[in-house]
Amino acid sequence: MTIEVCFTPKLFPDITTKENFIVVLADILRATTSICAAFQNGVKEILPVASLEEAREMKLKGFLVASEQDGKKLDWADFGNSAFNFTTEAIGGRTLVYCTTNGTRAIEIAKSAEKIAMGAFVNLSALAEWLVKENKNVVILCSGWKNKFCIEDSLFAGALTAKLLNYPGYTTCCDSAQASMDLWKVASVDLLSYLEKAAHRHRLKKLGLDDVIPYSFSTDTTRVVPVYENGVIRDLG
């Protein structure tokens, strides 16, 4: 099985892996981390929507809606996309509609894959074990930031690639997988200091939203594996 890393959704149409693959979507700050938190706290299912208009329509239909733009909660939404919003009291047993600047658009782009798994540091090992059981090629899609490379998603791609290579039968097929693993090796020595370099962290800081940073970079705090299939994200972990 091959592991391919795609640094931004804009490059997804050019991936080498053409069949029999699962996409792992990484939007560490913050969609995929928050989705893991929501399942950890008992959300029943998540309906990702790509546009604010759809999110608003769903709100009018009575759904709980999480929606943000450029990191900020929209005033008509129930939640932004901080992992801390999704408490058991707020979302336990409920269906949540979810719309984010990068994350849910990346799902739209990756829909050609059979399944799209939500990857984050918080579910790294559970996700790797699930992927191994699925026994398919893996494409790690970094959601990036406005079509640009972003460091935290790429570090996650490196961490997951390195973990999968510990299992027999995996190989990498692109320079970006190799580069991600090298960056992860450099960064993992002291992840939080390394992340001081990341532009997106500074954007969140400006917005006063960086309270989730330590949580987002904690490894293996949950066993959930949220997977998108046929329009719905459910926990297959």
> Which residues make up the interface to a copy of itself (CB under 8 A)?
7-8, 10-11, 14, 16, 145-151, 154, 173-176, 178-179, 182-183, 185-187, 197-200
Name every residue whose Cβ is closer than 8 Å to that of residue 104 and which is 6 or more positions away in sequence: 31, 48, 49, 50, 98
Smaller CB separation from a copy of itself, 60 or 189? 189
Question: Could you tell me the smallest distance in angstroms from the CB atom of residue 197 to a copy of itself?
Answer: 5
Question: Could you tell me the smallest distance in angstroms from the CB atom of residue 8 to a copy of itself?
Answer: 7
Smaller CB separation from a copy of itself, 197 or 205? 197
Question: Could you tell me the smallest distance in angstroms from the CB atom of residue 85 to a copy of itself?
Answer: 26
End-to-end CA distance of the chain: 21
Smaller CB separation from a copy of itself, 15 or 107? 15
Smaller CB separation from a copy of itself, 7 or 98? 7
Question: Could you tell me the smallest distance in angstroms from the CB atom of residue 201 to a copy of itself?
Answer: 10
Q: What are phi and psi of 189, to 5 degrees?
A: -60, -40
CA angle 185, 124, 31 (to 5 degrees): 105
The count of other CB atoms within 10 Å of the CB of residue 112 is 12
- Pick from 143, 137, 131: which is nearest to 32 by CA? 143
Question: Could you tell me the smallest distance in angstroms from the CB atom of residue 124 to a copy of itself?
Answer: 20
Name every residue whose Cβ is closer than 8 Å to that of residue 148 and which is 6 or more positions away in sequence: 8
Smaller CB separation from a copy of itself, 193 or 230? 193
Tell me if residue 56 falls in helix, strand or coil: helix
